Chain A
Amino acid sequence: MGIASSFKIKRMTGALKEKLSLDFSGKEPRAYYYLGGKRVLKVRITNVHGGDTLSVGAATKLRNSLWLDWEGLKRLYECPMSGKEFEYRIREMLKRY
């Protein structure tokens, strides 16, 4: 299962909050990512087992909602990808869309 099963929920949530300025204030980590004052993406982290690691399914959905590949999600999680870099990627994606 490789990359997908190795993400810690707390660390992932922290990275997304910090880098993407997501407001995970509700019961479940769920928020919109804003660019230029507009809602651009919807990000949600589910945890049906209550464990500390993101399940493969939840990680796959998170990756899709962020429009990233596994490597991109890993870079976002492990720090090399900054919020600015993520913003640039999304802007580029939106140009193609």
Chain B
Amino acid sequence: MEETELPFVKKIDASEIYLQNLKGMFAPIKLPEWMGSKGGRESFKKGKYPEYGTWGVMYEALTGREAIEGLKIVDELDLSEVKRQVDDLNSQVESVLSEVQECRQSISTLLDELRGKPVIKQTEILEIDATLEVIRPIPVVIEEYRDEVIASFTEIEAFGAGLCEAEAIIDLKNEIKKTFFELEEVSDEELGKLPISWKRVLSKVVKKIGNSE
């Protein structure tokens, strides 16, 4: 019994040689007697015996010397093929790594976009203050961003901002009030199409019950 280690040889003893398949498999193949002859090796190289494959060998030998002889044959036959396969695998791994990198990039971009998107809710304003009476609930869209909240009365392009929902709604109420009195104090001739429509909308949802400070 003798043991030695050679490149891509897992183990050699008097009866067996295992060549490790670089794909992580062992492919035991029995080498025939003709492999010992030059003609046999040439035929093997030319691919006349595909059933013996090219990836590994289990050489049944009586002695360690015979085993190493068998290995030399296989080594000679397979080395360039192995190199080619390793190169192929390397390029496949590189391509997978590059795809993974692209995926990471896309995920990061999507996360950024998601963080910029607000959580949207709806509510109503039922009361403003002593100067304006709400005669019809005012629809409010709440947009919760990561670091601020915006409350909007979209129909009149008014919004309020704050660190929390309550603050944003209070700001919106002030904005509605300001807009109401700003539009009320001027005639329709001084207003463009949008402000006129805001004025009309406001007249349907709020009524003046006091004077603005």
Contacts and interface: CB of A to CB of B under 8 A. Distances in A.
B192 A35 contact: yes
B152 interface: yes
Interface size class of A (residues with CB under 8 A): 20 to 34
A39 interface: yes
Nearest to B161: A46
B192 A55 contact: no
A44 B112 CA distance: 26
Interface stretch (A14-22, A58-66, A72-80, A81-89): A58-66
B28 interface: no
A58 B161 contact: yes
Nearest to B171: A46
B161 A57 contact: yes
B157 A42 contact: yes
A44 B159 contact: yes
B114 to A, nearest CB: 10
Contacts of B157: 42, 64-65
Nearest to A46: B161
B194 A97 contact: yes
B143 A57 contact: yes
> What is the interface of chain B mostly: helix, strand, loop, or mixed?
mixed
> What is the interface of chain A mostly: helix, strand, loop, or mixed?
mixed
Contacts of B161: 46, 48, 55, 57-58, 61
A49 interface: yes
Interface string B155-196: 001110111000100010001001100100010011111110
Contact of A57 (B145, B190, B195): B145
Interface in B116-168: 116, 118, 143, 145-150, 152, 157-159, 161-163, 167
> Among the interface residues A37, A40, A57, which one has the most CB atoms of the partner chain B within 10 A?
A57
Interface string A31-51: 010010111111010101100
Contacts of B158: 42
A46 B145 CA distance: 14
Contacts of B150: 57-58, 60-61
